[in-house]
Amino acid sequence: MIMKPGAKIFIKNKKLNKYLFFLRDNKFDIVNPNMWSTLGGGIEINESPEEALKREIKEESNIKIYNIQLIGEQKSTNIIRDKNKKIIKNKQFIFLADTDNKLNELTLNEGQKLGYFTLKKIKSMPNVAPAVIEAIDIYKKFLV
């Protein structure tokens, strides 16, 4: 079992009143392959959750965000489907931020594609990472 802290972010485009999600790569050896998720990733040694989040966002896309705020923490357990079936227990720091970027202004460096969705729509889709659905339910008072 691997313990790894991470940072994830709900990014809201206020003009659209929708949140940004990305479709993860369809690789056998990653958590939640081919599922919609939020941007973010692992926290490196000597890195704060917010520093990790900013680094991960820069690695994953060119989106510009502002009004970054930590809204909570979430624990999750994931299984990587490779031959070893690794179990990863995570403590995710959950952030919220705003953006003005339109979809056609964004570049995705990891994953298959980006999309803006309402929370109702993302919750109704069949291929959404379970931790994302859980985070929406836990932090719904912040995600308005």
The pLDDT tens digits along the chain (144 residues) read 455 788 999 999 999 999 999 999 998 777 788 999 999 988 998 999 999 999 999 999 999 999 999 999 988 766 555 556 666 677 889 999 999 999 999 999 989 999 999 999 999 999 999 889 999 999 999 998
Q: Where are the alpha helices (DSSP H) in the chain?
A: 49-60, 119-124, 130-138
pLDDT score, position 33: 86
Is residue 15 domain-resident? yes
User: How many domains in the chain?
Assistant: 1
Instruction: Report whether 21 contacts 122 (CB < 8 A).
Output: yes
Is residue 18 domain-resident? yes
Is residue 130 domain-resident? yes
The rounded radius of gyration (Å) of the Cα atoms in the chain is: 14
What's the chain's length in residues? 144
C-alpha torsion sign, points 59, 138, 30, 114: negative
**Per-position b or e across 48-67, b if 16+ CB within 10 A of its CB:** ebbebbbbbbeebbebebee
Is residue 116 domain-resident? yes
Is residue 36 domain-resident? yes
Is residue 144 domain-resident? no
Is residue 143 domain-resident? no
Please report where in the chains the tokens 């392959």 appear, as a residue.
Answer: 33
Enclosing domain of residue 43: 2-138
CATH code at position 128: 3.90.79.10
* pTM metric for this prediction: 0.89
3-state secondary structure of 105: helix
Is residue 120 domain-resident? yes
* Closest to 95 measured CA to CA, from 111, 116, 73: 73
